[in-house]
A and B are shown apart, each in its own frame.
Chain A
Amino acid sequence: MSMYNYVFRRVGFMAVTLFFVTLIAFAVTNILPGDVALLILGPNATEQSLEALQTQLGLNRPLYVQYIDWVVGLLQGNMGESLRFGEPVAQLIAERLPRSMMLAVAATLVAVVLSVPLGVYAAVNQNEAPDVSASMFAFVGISMPIFLWGLVFILVFAVWLNLFPTGGYVSPSEDLVGSLTRLVLPAGAMGFALTAYIMRMTRSSMLEVLSEEYINLARAKGMSQRVIVLRHALKNAIIPVITVIAFQFSYAFGGVVVLEEVFFWPGIGRLTLTAIQSRDIPLIQGCILVVALIYMFSNFAADLLYAYFDPRIRYGGDD
């Protein structure tokens, strides 16, 4: 199996998955309680005006027609118009998505930079003081939900130490420094919470690799500890960690939804919440679709990276 075959197959599977996602997104929004027309017009609306609006929105057509209509629109790049904002959904999402991305990427970066070296360090000093303290540090990270860490970070670094602003968003193109200072706390809080998992994965993966025969042989060849850890072991150990990192990135994206509330960060998380609160069906559908796409692509990226790092997959090995 060549790399082409591999990518080809993965893209095929993604297309199938995407189809199911559209089905689910559509189904979920249509079984949500609450009549959209009623929500828009308010409780005092008359029977006729409600019906007129439903006709206008196409809500009284059969479900499958509505679905096909929606998918055809999607294929043409048209995600519909938000009921609440009266703007195209695509535009609303396009505006907020990069902000959420920035937050999720920064958080993942923080997590990786903290956790991979920690995991390696812990594995190399297995069961000794550095290992125990690194594990404790990581354990503290997952001991609380992300939004609580957000509050703690605000309290400590913004309110007490007054180092960073408590929240808000500034576009990096307008004010780079201001933007970054506002990024530090939410990214730090989320990254910290993500550290534990990646660190533990790195540690156990490293431990497993360090007991492999080829590590033994590397020592028997006279290689130094540094070369063994960095050249021989880490390159192998990082392979499963990459999947976890990609998974954590998707997870970070989920965390963003909550954290954006805490830090007043106008990203896709807050957009989704608003959409759900106001039963803005096209917007909800759009948000679900985009988030699902991001999940899928980060996992796809993980697999490609995995294949890149593991020559046995890259060239389709026998094992």
Chain B
Amino acid sequence: MSAPTTATDAEADDGPLLDVRGLRTEFRTEGGPIVASNEVSFSLDRGETMGLVGESGAGKSVTARSLMRLIDSPGEITGGQVVFNGEDLLQKTEAEMRDIRGNRIAMIPQDPMSSLNPVMTVGEQITETIRRHQVVSKSEARRLAIESMDDVGIPDAEERIDDYPHEFSGGMRQRVLVAIGFSCEPDLIIADEPTTALDVTTQAKILDLLNEMQEREGTAVLMITHNLGVVAQTCDHVGVMYAGNLVETAELGDLFDRPRHPYTRALIDSIPEVDTDYDELPTLDGAMPDLGNLPSGCNFAPRCPHATEACRTGGDPSLDAVGDDSSRAACLHAADLDLSESTVPEAGTGRRDIDRSGQPLFEVRNLKKYFNAGEGVFGNVHLSWEGGGLPTVERRHVKAVDDVSFDVYPGETVGLVGESGCGKSTVARTALRLLEPTDGEVYFEGQPLHELGSSEIRSLRREMQMIFQDPQSSLNPRKTVGQIVGRAMEKHGIATGEEKRERVGGLLERVGLSRAAASKYPHEFSGGQQQRVAIAHALAVEPKLIVCDEPVSALDVSVQAQILNLLNEIQEDENISFLFISHNIGVIRHICDRVAVMYLGKIAEFGSIEQVFSPPFHPYTESLLSAVPHANPDRETDRILLEGSVPSPINPPSGCPFQTRCPKKIGDVCEQDLPELEAVDGGDHYISCHLSEEEMSQRDSFITPSKRAETSPADSD
């Protein structure tokens, strides 16, 4: 082993494992230097987990990479100390650092899809780390790699070690990354958003795994995340970053009970609670300032409800101890402010009443969409060489949407929720005839869309608009915002000339932008503002239905709430219907009237929010809801962890699609018979499961109103 572990172990007994003092990392950019990590100081003991939270661009990743000295040009660490096991890492040579990386400090990256080398087997990628840092033979390294794959719960490690990354699911790849991280038994693991790219159910399993590994090995973890639910579930203490500064550090409980910095308070408040109805979702107004153009004084002052003149004129407040616990906050008024109470008004009007007596606006019946498996004309022709003799030819399909029915009434929001790949987006695209359906019927105001020709569809497009996850890709970068929105009006003959300009201006104000925005180009706006432009564009043609495909998934929590409020407001004013697609259960809970839970191309459960979030539950819905991490450290979690991963839609299981993972599976009947989507509790709540209503009702509601301190589930990812 290249690093003298025994020596450093002894040394570290009388100090923290990691002591960061005044760390400063800058990037040289055309617009001048950007300080992404500004005088950051914190320490971390052995075996402890520290969370690092903050909005996107706050400097969390840069700070973490600085600890490992993995900052590339044009970035540079320009000051401070990173004392690890008693030695300052910033004084080490690059060769010495290489002996530490992966060995004493390891990294678990965010994206399991892109973090493994596609042309190397997972075995090679684990063993190379082991052989880099330990003097072991090839076969010994292989044995250790199999062992570590076993440890992280990869079944059949011995067979799978020679597989390539693409042969593993996202969750399994993340396990491989965890195995690589722990393979040399490091003292510190830096996990940068280790579960952000994963579905809730997979996320819960990976977090459990991390906890378990950490306890077994006594490893310290620095957990970077923007999800306070994840923090509440995993961390011992927390650091909050804002605009390159560490603005608060506190023990986990103190942070949630008695935040000392107004930003922390705002961050906690901006998470929608599942058991509360709001008139408006709580928001954190404004956006984090551009790091290249920071305000003088406290960086948070422009958004801070407690800001005073002193805050705006002084320098950066320093991170000082506050109160009698171990909290530290970088706020001039930290000592005087009492931030222990949430600022969000709890009162709410609850749900709107939707009139469902008339004709639905939009109706989907038995919709199917099969894709050819593989590319090209003959892409799905599959030769099977099994059984010897001549190969047999078969055509294979991905059954992305398989017999889906639901309806949307005027003024209503219907949600589609489910894990990635379950077919949510395909439902929307097929229903709008952006894709040709394989089978099924779609009605818009009673007109059969599935029978209309393309020109008739085109004129109906005006009534049905779409908003996407990535606003940038749907806005023409060479046109001004005014041209983009105005063009839609002209195309459908709504307004021209002066009237058009007037309307565009009004619309932009309507979505919370200024009239002047009309002459700017999309790239001049932030992600949240671009999404506002996309909404204005959709509204320009006065549609009756807007399909929103993950419209807030790419946005920060604070911006997310602003956009959701805007959508709600518009709906109230214009009586527009929304079909709202999201994998985020907290968001679905607050924006939708009814929701369809999808699994493997089929609807597992459909009903109002109250019905779906309360018993009886489809077993899949139950595990999905239970896996949402709650931003409340005191809350008891009773999560149902699903075994295995979602089966391939090319070859779906027989009988109930969920039977391969269902914790409540009855037996043969689930394997043989596809359960019908049947009405339960006597009405408009539908579940597709063979269980009796009673058996599906063994858990309490996820939204029973109760005291906030006891239950505050949320999903802020």
Contact = CB atoms under 8 A, between A and B. Distances in A.
B117 A216 contact: no
A219 B99 CA distance: 11
A214 B383 contact: no
Given A1-B382, A319-B166, A221 B109 contact: no
Contact of B102 (A212, A222, A315, A319): A222
A213 B382 contact: no
Q: Counting chain A CB atoms within 10 Å of each CB, which of B118, B167, B180, B391 scores highest?
A: B118
Contacts of A174: none
B100 A214 contact: no
A222 B114 contact: no
Contacts of B385: 2, 4
Contacts of A311: 118-119, 164, 166
A236 B118 contact: yes
A232 B120 contact: yes
A75 interface: no
Given A1-B382, A221-B128, A235 B68 contact: no
A84 interface: no
19 contacts: A1-B382, A8-B383, A12-B378, A214-B116, A214-B117, A217-B116, A217-B177, A218-B117, A219-B101, A220-B70, A220-B106, A220-B109, A221-B101, A222-B98, A222-B102, A235-B120, A236-B119, A239-B119, A310-B119
Contacts of B117: 214, 218, 232, 235-236
Contacts of B99: 222
Contacts of B118: 214, 236, 310-312
Contacts of A175: none
A5 interface: yes
Interface residues of A, number: 34
Interface of B: 68, 70, 98-103, 106-107, 109-111, 114-120, 128-129, 132-133, 164, 166-167, 177, 180, 374, 378-379, 381-383, 385, 391
Q: Counting chain B CB atoms within 10 Å of each CB, which of A216, A232, A309 scores highest?
A: A216
A239 B103 CA distance: 31
B180 A221 contact: yes
Q: Which 6 A-B pairs have the closest CB atoms?
A: A221-B102, A222-B102, A220-B107, A222-B101, A317-B166, A213-B114
Contact of A220 (B102, B120, B167, B381): B102
How would you classify the secondary structure of chain B's contact residues: helix, strand, loop or mixed? loop
Q: Counting chain B CB atoms within 10 Å of each CB, which of A2, A9, A217, A219 scores highest?
A: A217
Q: Counting chain B CB atoms within 10 Å of each CB, which of A216, A222, A235, A315 scores highest?
A: A222
A236 B129 CA distance: 19
B384 to A, nearest CB: 9
A47 interface: no
A5 B382 contact: yes
A221 B70 contact: no
Contacts of A2: 383, 385
A76 to B, nearest CB: 28
Interface in A95-134: none
A173 interface: no
Contacts of A217: 107, 109, 115-116, 177, 180
A223 interface: yes
Contact of B106 (A4, A9, A221, A317): A221
B132 A222 contact: yes
A224 interface: yes
Interface string A1-25: 1101100110010000000000000
Nearest to A219: B70
Contact of A1 (B129, B133, B167, B374): B374
Q: Counting chain A CB atoms within 10 Å of each CB, which of B102, B119, B167, B379 scores highest?
A: B119
A103 to B, nearest CB: 33
B166 A318 contact: yes
Nearest to B117: A214
B119 A235 contact: yes
Interface string A234-263: 011001000000000000000000000000
A276 B518 CA distance: 63
Q: Counting chain B CB atoms within 10 Å of each CB, which of A5, A8, A236, A315 scores highest?
A: A5
Nearest to A236: B119
Contacts of B132: 221-223
A138 B565 CA distance: 57
A216 B120 contact: no
A227 B110 CA distance: 23
B115 A222 contact: no
B383 A222 contact: no
Q: Counting chain B CB atoms within 10 Å of each CB, which of A218, A220, A232, A311 scores highest?
A: A220
A248 B391 CA distance: 36
A216 B102 contact: no
A8 to B, nearest CB: 6
Contacts of A309: 119
Contacts of A4: 383, 385, 391
Given A2-B383, A235-B119, A239-B119, 20 more contacts: A1-B374, A213-B109, A214-B116, A216-B70, A216-B115, A217-B109, A217-B115, A219-B101, A220-B101, A222-B99, A222-B132, A223-B98, A227-B128, A231-B120, A231-B128, A235-B120, A311-B118, A311-B119, A312-B118, A317-B166
Q: Counting chain B CB atoms within 10 Å of each CB, which of A9, A214, A319 scores highest?
A: A214
A310 to B, nearest CB: 7
B184 to A, nearest CB: 9
A227 B98 CA distance: 12
B539 to A, nearest CB: 36
A222 B378 contact: no
Nearest to B112: A213
Contacts of A223: 98, 102, 128, 132
B60 to A, nearest CB: 15
A2 B396 CA distance: 14
Contacts of B166: 311-312, 315, 317-319
A217 B409 CA distance: 49
Contacts of B110: 213
Given A4-B383, A224-B98, A236-B118, A213 B106 contact: no
Interface string A294-319: 00000000000000011110011111
Contacts of A220: 68, 70, 101-102, 106-107, 109
Interface in A11-64: 12
B167 A222 contact: no
B115 A213 contact: yes
Contact of A216 (B98, B109, B133, B164): B109
Interface in A162-188: none
A227 B125 CA distance: 12
Nearest to A126: B73
Contacts of B119: 235-236, 239, 309-311
Nearest to A312: B166
A136 to B, nearest CB: 23
Interface in A185-218: 212-214, 216-218
Nearest to A233: B117
A222 B68 CA distance: 10
B717 to A, nearest CB: 19
A138 B603 CA distance: 58
Nearest to A314: B164
Contacts of B106: 220-221
B115 A214 contact: yes
Contacts of A8: 383
Q: Counting chain A CB atoms within 10 Å of each CB, which of B117, B129, B132 scores highest?
A: B117
Contact of B164 (A218, A236, A239, A315): A315
Contact of B129 (A214, A221, A316, A319): A221
Contacts of A227: 128
Contacts of A214: 114-118
A216 to B, nearest CB: 7
A140 to B, nearest CB: 29
Nearest to A238: B119
A221 B98 CA distance: 8
Contacts of B180: 217, 221
A184 to B, nearest CB: 35
